[in-house]
Chains A and B, each alone.
Chain A
Amino acid sequence: MKKKEMIFFLIILVLAGAFCIFHFITQTPSAVVSVSIDGTEYKQFDLSKDQYYTIQTPQGYNILQIQNHTVTVTEADCPDQICVQQKSIQNKGELIVCLPHKVVIELK
């Protein structure tokens, strides 16, 4: 790799890294989780109440778990299972996305 290219990618790395650090420092716990399907809001939940909820979409289901102010998807019938493998989320702005079902779970 040439020196110029190295510098170029290093600058991108530093910028992205700075953004990530900024993001981790400024994150605050969220109180409300909003679920939207295909771009329209479907339901909102309060994070203080522990519960399970089944999000039913035309393509399939995702089971949402709220526990100790964190949100996870415990089960889904989508082919890639990316939403299930994802770690639990608890801070404002964090997302869990199920692309096959067009579900976006967002903390507000």
Chain B
Amino acid sequence: MNSKKIAYCGLLTTVALLLSYVERMIAIPMIVPGMKLGLANITVLIALYLFDNKTAFCISILRILISGILFTGFASFLYSAAGALLSFIIMSFCKKRNVFSVIAISILGGISHNIGQIFIACIVVENIKLFYYMPFLMILGIATGFITGAIGNKTIHYIKHYN
């Protein structure tokens, strides 16, 4: 752990927090309730590629914890945590395989984030019918995952090139 890495981690966590704040202000027409762009996933993606699983995991958890305290409250914290955990597991697993591109990993992360959230929501309200939203969330997850993946891909190349 050198000072450069510490600085990067702090920066990435801050950017992640900022992005989750910005994301709350962007009002997308509510096709599916509570849908978001998943911009904060960009930072997790970058950390996953620049550093290792452990670092990316810490950044992801820190972001959810702090944004839960600052902006959202406990209920939303639970759902974000479930989504982020599942999406992190899937993304780090796929990254290890070494056959997926950055954008594909981002899309898989987006989709699994949605699945994790719906799963926890179903448990909390004890109603399996929430899976009714799944196909809509699949489409949105692929779309937003592609956008964040493309941004992440460019950023990773840029940082690696100028380091």
User: Could you tell me which A residues sit within 8 Å of B by CB distance?
Assistant: 1-2, 5, 9, 12-13, 15-17, 19-20, 23, 36, 38-39, 78-80, 82-83, 85-87, 93, 95-97, 99-100, 102-104, 106
Pairwise interchain contact A86-B135, C-beta atoms closer than 8 A = no
> Closest CB of chain A to B108's CB: distance in Å?
9
Interface residues on B, range: 20 to 34
Interface of A is mostly: mixed
> Closest CB of chain B to A24's CB: distance in Å?
11
Which residues, 107 to 152 on B, are CB-close (under 8 Å) to A?
A: 107, 111, 121, 124-127, 129-130, 132-133, 135-136, 138-139, 142, 149
**Complex: A1 Cα to B102 Cα, angstroms:** 7
Pairwise interchain contact A106-B129, C-beta atoms closer than 8 A = yes
The chain A residue sitting closest to B34, CB to CB, is: A82
> Closest CB of chain B to A88's CB: distance in Å?
11
> Closest CB of chain A to B77's CB: distance in Å?
10
Pairwise interchain contact A79-B75, C-beta atoms closer than 8 A = yes
The chain A residue sitting closest to B101, CB to CB, is: A1
Pairwise interchain contact A12-B142, C-beta atoms closer than 8 A = yes
Pairwise interchain contact B30-A36, C-beta atoms closer than 8 A = no
Pairwise interchain contact B127-A36, C-beta atoms closer than 8 A = yes
Pairwise interchain contact A102-B73, C-beta atoms closer than 8 A = no
Which residues from chain B contact A12 at a C-beta distance below 8 Å?
A: 111, 138, 142
**Complex: A95 Cα to B125 Cα, angstroms:** 12
Which residues from chain A contact B88 at a C-beta distance below 8 Å?
A: none
